[in-house]
Chains A and B, each alone.
Chain A
Amino acid sequence: MLSTVLQQIVFYFFAASLVFSAAMVVLSRNPVTSALFLVYSFFNSAILWMLLNAEFLSLVLIFVYVGAVMTLFLFVVMMLNIDIETLRKGFVRYLPFGLVAVALVVGLMITAIWPANFGALPNPQAAADYSNTGALGALLYTHYVYAFELAAMLLLVAIVAAISLSQHGKPQRKTQNISKQIDVDPKDRVHLVNMLSEKKQ
Chain B
Amino acid sequence: MWNDLLTLIWIVIKIIIVIVPLLLAVAYLTFAERKVIGYIQARIGPNRVGYFGLLQPIADAVKLFLKEPIYPSSANPVLFLLAPILSMAPALAVWAVIPFDKGWVIANINAGLLYILAMTSLGVYGILIAGWASNSKYAFFGAMRSAAQVVSYEIAMGFALVGVLMAAGSTNLQDIIIRQQGGIWHWFWLPLLPMFLVYWISGLAETNRLPFDMAEGESEIVAGFHVEYSSMGFAMFFLAEYANMILVAALATIFFWGGWLSPFQGIPVLDSIFAWVPGIVWFLAKLGFFLLLFIWIRGTLPRYRYDQIMQLGWKVLIPVTIVWIVLIGLAIEFRMPPWFT
Interface residues of A (CB under 8 A from B): 2-3, 5-6, 32-33, 36, 39, 46, 55-56, 59-60, 62-63, 66-68, 71-72, 74-75, 78-79, 131-133, 175
Contacts and interface: CB of A to CB of B under 8 A. Distances in A.
A63 B118 contact: yes
A140 to B, nearest CB: 15
A78 B132 CA distance: 7
A interface, over-half SS: helix
B217 to A, nearest CB: 18
A59 B147 contact: no
Nearest to A174: B307
B177 to A, nearest CB: 18
B115 interface: yes
A28 B83 CA distance: 19
Contacts of B307: 175
A55 B110 contact: yes
Q: Identify the interface centre among A33, A55, A66, A131: most chain B CB within 10 Å of its CB.
A: A55
B129 to A, nearest CB: 7
A133 B118 contact: no
Contacts of A55: 109-111, 114
Nearest to B121: A67
Given A3-B1, A36-B129, A67 B154 contact: yes
23 contacts: A2-B4, A5-B1, A33-B79, A59-B111, A59-B117, A59-B118, A60-B118, A62-B118, A66-B118, A66-B121, A66-B122, A67-B121, A67-B122, A71-B124, A71-B150, A71-B151, A72-B147, A74-B128, A75-B144, A78-B140, A78-B144, A132-B110, A133-B114
B125 interface: yes
Interface residues of B, number: 30
Contacts of B119: 62
A60 B124 CA distance: 17
A133 B110 contact: yes
Contact of B114 (A5, A56, A71): A56
Contacts of B122: 62, 66-67
A67 to B, nearest CB: 3
B113 to A, nearest CB: 9
B293 interface: no
B148 interface: yes
A75 B148 contact: yes
B121 A62 contact: yes
B171 interface: yes
B interface, over-half SS: helix
Q: Identify the interface centre among B114, B171, B307: most chain A CB within 10 Å of its CB.
A: B114
The 4 closest A-B pairs by CB, nearest first: A67-B121, A62-B118, A59-B114, A59-B118
A5 B128 CA distance: 38
Nearest to B117: A63
Contacts of B109: 55
B114 A68 contact: no
B118 A3 contact: no
Contacts of A5: 1, 4
A133 B171 contact: yes
Nearest to A67: B121
B115 to A, nearest CB: 6
Contact of B115 (A33, A59, A67, A132): A59
Given A67-B154, A71-B147, A39 B125 contact: yes
A32 B129 CA distance: 9
Contacts of B1: 3, 5
Given A59-B114, A66-B122, 5 more contacts: A5-B1, A55-B114, A62-B118, A67-B154, A71-B124
Given A39-B125, A63-B118, A78-B132, A3 B4 contact: yes
Contacts of B117: 59, 63, 67
A132 B79 CA distance: 36
A32 B75 CA distance: 13
A56 B111 contact: yes
B154 A68 contact: yes
Contacts of A32: 79, 132
Interface in B77-99: 79
A55 B118 CA distance: 11
Contacts of B158: 63
A71 B128 contact: yes
Contacts of B124: 67, 71
